[in-house]
């Protein structure tokens, strides 16, 4: 004779009970979401790390006699060595660069007015006429505005570094959550995906399509955008170092961050520097940096990004660019993943809806 629990699973629910269950499902889901919301970035990156390194885990698994825990721990060690430690070292070096820049501006060792004055005095007459039209021909006014902007930018950067130092405990907790979640998703990811899939009221083929699209877009977006950003930042920093530009590492990291914006990202850094070289009479430095920026740094973006991102996601380049910019405007740095991902899932869901009507 079946137990009450087993018998209950075979009873037919009434419409009223179904609505009550649906309301309860929404309430508990929202409650859980509110609890997890402060750590959404850590959870997201734990999922991303598991998607990126699961192929390595599967390659390693038969080599450790199919001991899943051992293989997952080894995979997590690789994650720490390849991702976490290099990123931590770069952040420490960047903090030193930002602190040097901020203190230099505050103490007067770095005087932007000298650079602006040198560039302003060498401007052609037609440029002065344009500045006069906008009320900027007065050097004191232009200097004051540019100096204020630079001081505010350096102060913001220094504040962010100081905030990171103050929130070290929060950062460590988020890192622990990401790695802890990545470990279990790497080890038990297949069974977790199957369990979640069974709860989604869609046909198995459609669940498979959505999961495949989700995993493909995340892998392509993260690997493609980060690889392009790292290459462009490294190439730009190397050029700045060779030309004797101070704070080459800081500019390299800034170029790498802005490179997440397709097409125009790195140009926002090397373009003004090349223009400054040209205006101040350093013609060969300016021309060399412009040629290097267009033919080398820009070529990386134009060639690699469509191959690494657009090809795998099967989305047009303009959709990837718009959703990346929009995602970063809403979600911050995490938006370069969430923006294209939301767009891809939108297209996939509408495709399923259109083919099943």
Q: pLDDT (tens digit, 9 = 90+) per residue, 104-141?
A: 666 666 655 566 666 666 666 655 566 666 555 555 56
With beta carbons less than 8 A apart as the criterion, state whether 222 and 108 touch: no
Residue 32 lies in a domain: no
SS3 175: helix
The confidence score (pLDDT) of residue 73 equals 92
With beta carbons less than 8 A apart as the criterion, state whether 47 and 39 touch: no
- For residue 278, count other CB atoms closer than 10 A to its CB: 18
Stronger pLDDT, 327 or 276, i.e. the higher one: 327
Span 333-356, mean pLDDT? 81
Same domain, 264 and 180: no
Residue 230 has pLDDT above 80, yes or no: yes
Residue 50 lies in a domain: yes
The confidence score (pLDDT) of residue 12 equals 66
Same domain, 169 and 212: no
Residue 68 lies in a domain: yes
Backbone angles phi, psi at 316, to 5 degrees: -60, 150
With beta carbons less than 8 A apart as the criterion, state whether 325 and 339 touch: yes
Residue whose C-alpha is closest to residue 301's, from 268, 325, 265, 269: 265
The confidence score (pLDDT) of residue 164 equals 52
> Quick one: tokens of 47?
């999922």
Residue 28 lies in a domain: no
Stronger pLDDT, 285 or 137, i.e. the higher one: 285
Of 147, 171, 199, which residue sits at a domain end? 199
Stronger pLDDT, 145 or 231, i.e. the higher one: 231
The confidence score (pLDDT) of residue 183 equals 92
- For residue 2, count other CB atoms closer than 10 A to its CB: 9
Same domain, 249 and 315: yes
Same domain, 180 and 303: no
The confidence score (pLDDT) of residue 1 equals 45
266 Cβ contact list (under 8 Å, min separation 6): 232, 233, 236, 255, 258, 259, 293, 297, 298, 301
The confidence score (pLDDT) of residue 112 equals 59
With beta carbons less than 8 A apart as the criterion, state whether 321 and 221 touch: no
115 Cβ contact list (under 8 Å, min separation 6): 276
Residue 302 lies in a domain: yes
Which of 27-31, 90-94, 258-262: highest mean pLDDT? 27-31
Q: Which helix (H) or strand (E) holds 287?
A: helix 283-292
Same domain, 100 and 190: yes
Q: How far apart are CA 149 and CA 351, in angstroms?
A: 47
Same domain, 163 and 297: no
Of 144, 169, 199, which residue sits at a domain end? 199
Residue with tokens 């223009």: 275
Same domain, 115 and 233: no
Residue 322 lies in a domain: yes
SS3 281: coil
Task: Name the domain count of the chain.
Answer: 2
Residue 238 has pLDDT above 80, yes or no: yes
Q: How far apart are CA 349 and CA 339, in angstroms?
A: 16
Quote the mean pLDDT of the chain.
76
Span 50-70, mean pLDDT? 89
Residue 24 lies in a domain: no
The confidence score (pLDDT) of residue 289 equals 86
Span 298-310, mean pLDDT? 72
Query: Residue 3 — left, alpha, or beta (φ > 0 → left; ψ -120 to 50 → alpha)?
Result: beta
Domain boundaries, position 126: 40-199
Same domain, 345 and 221: yes
Of 199, 227, 262, which residue sits at a domain end? 199
6, burial (CB in 10 Å: exposed 0-12, middle 13-18, buried 19+): exposed
Span 209-224, mean pLDDT? 80
Same domain, 190 and 211: no
Greatest pairwise CA separation for the chain in angstroms: 98
The number of C-alpha atoms within 13 Å of 164 and in the hemisphere containing its C-beta is: 11
Measure Cα distances from 270 to 157, 162, 212, 247, 258 in Å: 19, 27, 38, 13, 11
Same domain, 193 and 223: no
The confidence score (pLDDT) of residue 228 equals 82
Residue 285 has pLDDT above 70, yes or no: yes
Per-residue model confidence as pLDDT tens digits over 3-38: 554 444 455 667 777 788 888 888 998 998 888 888
Residue 1 lies in a domain: no
318 Cβ contact list (under 8 Å, min separation 6): none
Same domain, 214 and 193: no
Same domain, 76 and 157: yes
Stronger pLDDT, 89 or 5, i.e. the higher one: 89
Stronger pLDDT, 27 or 324, i.e. the higher one: 27
């Amino acid at each position: 004779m079946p137990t009450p629990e087993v018998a209950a699973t075979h009873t037919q629910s009434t419409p009223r009970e179904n609505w009550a269950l649906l309301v309860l499902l929404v309430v508990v889901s929202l409650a859980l979401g509110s609890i997890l919301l402060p750590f959404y970035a850590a959870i997201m990156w734990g999922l991303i790390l598991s998607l990126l390194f699961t192929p390595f885990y599967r390659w390693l698994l038969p080599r450790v006699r199919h001991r899943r825990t051992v293989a997952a721990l080894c995979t997590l060690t690789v994650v720490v060595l390849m991702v976490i430690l290099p990123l931590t070292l770069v952040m420490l070096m960047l903090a030193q660069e930002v602190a040097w820049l901020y203190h230099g501006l505050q103490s007067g060792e770095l005087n932007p007015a000298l650079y602006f004055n040198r560039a302003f005095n060498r401007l052609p007459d037609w440029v002065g006429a344009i500045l006069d039209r906008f009320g900027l021909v007065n050097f004191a006014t232009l200097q004051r505005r540019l100096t204020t902007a630079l001081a505010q930018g350096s102060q913001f950067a220094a504040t962010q570094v100081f905030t990171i130092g103050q929130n070290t405990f929060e950062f460590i907790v988020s890192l622990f959550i990401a790695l802890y979640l990545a470990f279990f998703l790497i080890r038990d990811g297949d069974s977790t995906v199957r369990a979640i899939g069974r709860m989604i009221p869609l046909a198995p083929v459609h669940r498979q399509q959505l999961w495949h699209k989700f995993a493909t877009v995340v892998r392509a977006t993260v690997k493609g955008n980060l690889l392009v950003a790292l290459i462009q930042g490294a190439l730009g920093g190397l050029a700045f170092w060779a030309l004797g530009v101070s704070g080459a590492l800081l500019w390299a990291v800034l170029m790498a961050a802005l490179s997440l914006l397709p097409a125009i990202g790195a140009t926002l850094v090397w373009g003004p520097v090349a223009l400054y070289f040209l205006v101040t009479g350093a013609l060969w430095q300016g021309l060399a940096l412009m040629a290097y920026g267009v033919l080398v740094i820009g070529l990386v973006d134009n060639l690699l990004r469509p191959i690494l991102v657009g090809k795998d996601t099967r989305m047009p380049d303009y959709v990837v660019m718009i959703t990346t910019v929009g995602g970063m405007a809403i979600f911050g740095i995490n938006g370069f993943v969430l923006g294209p991902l939301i767009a891809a899932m939108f297209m996939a869901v509408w495709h399923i809806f259109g083919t099943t009507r």
